[in-house]
Structure 1
Amino acid sequence: MFLGRAVVPGEPLWLDEDRAWALALAEVERDSCPDCGQPWSEASAPENEFGYDVSLLRCHACAAGARKAHAHQEAGGDAKGLHIAITKRG
C-alpha cells in the first residue's frame, strides 16, 4: 500500500505516478548533504559560502547518551561496537 492504494490481483504494484515520486525522492536524496540535509548543489556553491544562518541546539537525549558513553570509557570500558539505547523516563 502506498498513499492508500490497495493492490488487487492483476494490478501492478507500482503505477507510473508511484515510480515518478520514487525517482523524485531519489534525486532529492542524491543532492542532499549527508550532514545537514541541505541541497548539495546549493550548499557547495562558492557564492553561498556565507549564505546560511545557523542555530546551535542541544538534543538532551543525545547529550545523556554521550555522557554515559564518556563515563563508560573513563572507567576503562571498551567503546568499540558500543551502541547507545536512549529511552525517555516515564
Structure 2
Amino acid sequence: MGRAVGPGEPQWTEEDTLLAVEWQRLQDALCGGCGHPLDESLDEGNDYEVHRITCFACQVKERAEKAAAEAENADTTGRKLTTVLIGRRPVID
C-alpha cells in the first residue's frame, strides 16, 4: 500500500507523518516482551496466566536452522531461513 510520489511532491505528506508518529506512540506504550499495554502490565495489582502456543512455521524453521548449524563444516553466517505455506494436511479425528 502506498502512493506514487510525483515530481515536486513530498515523500511524506503531513497525514503520513501524523500517522507514523501515532503508530510510534502506540508502539512505545507496549511492553517489548509481551506486547501488553505498559499501563496495564506494570500494575502489580494485575494477574496474568501463561498460555503455551506453538507456531508450526517457526518450529520447522528453527529445526532447519538447528540442523544446518549442527551439520559438519556448515557455515550459516548470514543465512536467513523463511517459511512458505505449501498446503494443509487433512485433519484426522
Residues 19/74 of structure 1: CA separation in 2 closer, same or farther (3 Å cut): closer
TM-score (norm 1): 0.64
- CA distance in 1 between counterparts of 2:56 and 2:29 reads 30
**What residue ranges of structure 1 are gaps of 5+ in the alignment?**
3-12
> 1:62: which partner in 2?
58
Q: Specify every segment of 5 or more residues in structure 2 that has no aligned partner in the other structure, as ranges.
A: 3-12, 88-93
Off by >3 Å, runs of 4+ in structure 1 = 18-24
Q: What one-letter code is carried by the residue in structure 2 that aligns with 1:14?
A: E
Q: 1:80 aligns with which of 70, 74, 77?
A: 77
Q: Hey, what's the Cα distance between the residues in 2 that align with 1:81 and 1:19?
A: 34
Once the 2 structures are TM-superposed, how far is the Cα of residue 25 of structure 1 from its aligned partner? 2.8
Q: How many residues of Structure 1 are paired with residues of Structure 2 in the alignment? A: 82
In structure 1, distance between residues paired with 2:60 and 2:49: 27
1:53 to 27, 49, 52: 49
- Secondary structure of the residue that 2:27 maps to in structure 1? helix
What SS does the aligned partner of 2:30 have?
coil
* Paired-residue identity, %: 28
Q: CA RMSD in A?
A: 3.1
